[in-house]
Amino acid sequence: MTIWWLILILATLASIGGAFVWLALRIGQAGSGSKSKIQNGSIEEAADQDVEHIFNEQFREELRNRGRLHFEKIIGENAMFLQQDLRLTTSQLNEYMKTEITQKLQEEFSKYEESIMDAKQLAIESIEKTNAAIDEQRQVIGLQVQQEIAAEKQQMLKHFESNMANIINHYVLAAVGDQIDLSDQLEYILGDLEANKQAIIEDIQRGA
Amino acid sequence: MAHETAAETPQKTFGLPVLVASPVDVGRLIRELEVIDGALLQVKLQKDSQDRLPKTSHLMDQTAQLNKLDLSNDHDRKQLQEFLVLVKQKAPILHISFSADPTTAFIEKIMAWLRREIHPSVLLTIGLQPNIGAGCVVRSTNKYFDFSLRKDFETKRDLLLGTLGAAEVTAARTASAPVANAPAPVAQGAAT
């Protein structure tokens, strides 16, 4: 952008210089034209002399110096303007870049934050689902374990009850058996024999 | 003591003393009778003037006494031998198992009842089954009679289980009752 400004300024200066030279030549030509109608030959010569006299080397040098100074002044002013524009453009560019970068960063940060929030939400949902599944599984397992324990308990109780009678019988027989004398049992035995006497007699009479 | 038991023979009615209880006793009497026969035959062959009987067992003495037999008489001995062989071959045999070894007096009482109520010449074999607790187990020719305490317990098993169940319910109620109701079982026990 700076190069283009410089080229534009140079082109302006060149066009101004060209216009100045053209104006000087035009004035010269206009003066010589009016006199030529009256005295073509002498006037032209006089004009040439006047021109030579007016626009001598000193005057030309002075014009050159003025043009150089004016050119330098214009160049200086334009350089100052260019510098100001450059500063302004730089500051605007900085602001623009800062704004753009900030905006981009904010957008990226917002996208990043959004993606993080989405990932977090997904993770939370996944964890919640996992927790729900674990709770459900735990309830199912707990229920199964309770049922199995209850069944096992029932089975043990049933087994215990079924064996309890045998245990008590065995214990009583072992405890009482040695304490009862056969003589004391005679009446009991004879009573049982008496009760089954008929069956015994029939079996004996029937024989083998 | 000597309950008479009779068996029909052509000439005379014979009986067995209650001490002769098992087929082994009968076999022992038969063998003893054969010994007596042999001994008397020896005496006769030696032409000994005195009929000296060998010493006889208590069972043989009781048997001879019960049946009013003279063992020095050949005819009596022959009749007794025929009777004993007949008893060994034909007499019904009962097998009774007890929880302990019975005494002789106990066996005599049992034999007296059996020969009075069941059969006059019934024989008895004694067994031992300590696990029956009390009572006896009778095995006849084709039948098995369990008069033991064990069998009685098995018969009354439902009663025992019912009593145990009621006791469990009572224990559970007592265990689950709050502390404030603690005196209740005491009052219940006092009421019962």
Residue B131 lies in a domain: yes
Residue A106 lies in a domain: yes
Residue B10 lies in a domain: no
Residue B190 lies in a domain: no
Chain B positions in Cβ-Cβ contact with residue A206 (cut-off 8 Å): 141-142
Minimal C-alpha gap between B74 and chain A (Å): 33
Residue A52 lies in a domain: yes
Residue A49 lies in a domain: yes
- Pairing mode of beta strands B123-128, B93-98: parallel
The predicted pLDDT at position B30 comes to 93
Residue B180 lies in a domain: no
Residue A14 lies in a domain: yes
The predicted pLDDT at position B189 comes to 38
Instruction: Tell me which residue range forms the domain holding A105.
Output: 2-127
The predicted pLDDT at position A148 comes to 94
Residue B80 lies in a domain: yes
Residue B72 reports pLDDT greater than 50: yes
Q: Give how many domains chain B has, as a whole number.
A: 1
Mean pLDDT of all residues in A101-129: 93
Residue B41 lies in a domain: yes
Instruction: Tell me which residue range forms the domain holding B53.
Output: 23-146
Whether residue B163 contacts residue B177, with contact meaning beta carbons closer than 8 Å, is answered with no
Residue B93 reports pLDDT greater than 50: yes
B105, B114, B135 ranked by CB distance to A188: nearest: B135
Distance of CA A194 to the CA centre of its chain: 105
Give B12's pLDDT tier (boundaries 50, 70, 90). low
Per the prediction, chain B carries an average pLDDT of: 80
Residue A51 lies in a domain: yes
Q: Give how many domains chain A has, as a whole number.
A: 1
**With 0-12 CB in 10 A as exposed, 13-18 as middle and 19+ as buried, what is A95?**
exposed
Give A36's pLDDT tier (boundaries 50, 70, 90). low
Ranking A29-33, A54-58, A200-204, B28-32 by mean pLDDT, the lowest is A29-33
Please report the residues numbered 103 through 122 in chain B whose beta carbons come closer than 8 angstroms to any beta carbon of chain A: 103, 105-106, 109-110, 113-114, 117-119, 122
Residue A75 lies in a domain: yes
Chain B positions in Cβ-Cβ contact with residue A176 (cut-off 8 Å): 133-134, 149
Residue A57 lies in a domain: yes
Residue A19 lies in a domain: yes
Mean pLDDT of all residues in A97-104: 90
Q: Does B91 touch chain A (CB under 8 A)?
A: no
Minimal C-alpha gap between B116 and chain A (Å): 11
The predicted pLDDT at position B50 comes to 63
State the distance between the two ends of chain B, measured CA to CA, in whole angstroms: 51
Predicted confidence (pLDDT) per residue in A156-169, tens digit? 888 887 777 777 77
Give A112's pLDDT tier (boundaries 50, 70, 90). very high
The predicted pLDDT at position B179 comes to 52
Residue B117 to residue A164, Cβ atoms within 8 A? no
Whether residue B69 contacts residue A146, with contact meaning beta carbons closer than 8 Å, is answered with no
The ipTM of this complex is 0.72
Q: Does A186 touch chain B (CB under 8 A)?
A: yes
Residue B181 reports pLDDT greater than 80: no
The predicted pLDDT at position A31 comes to 56
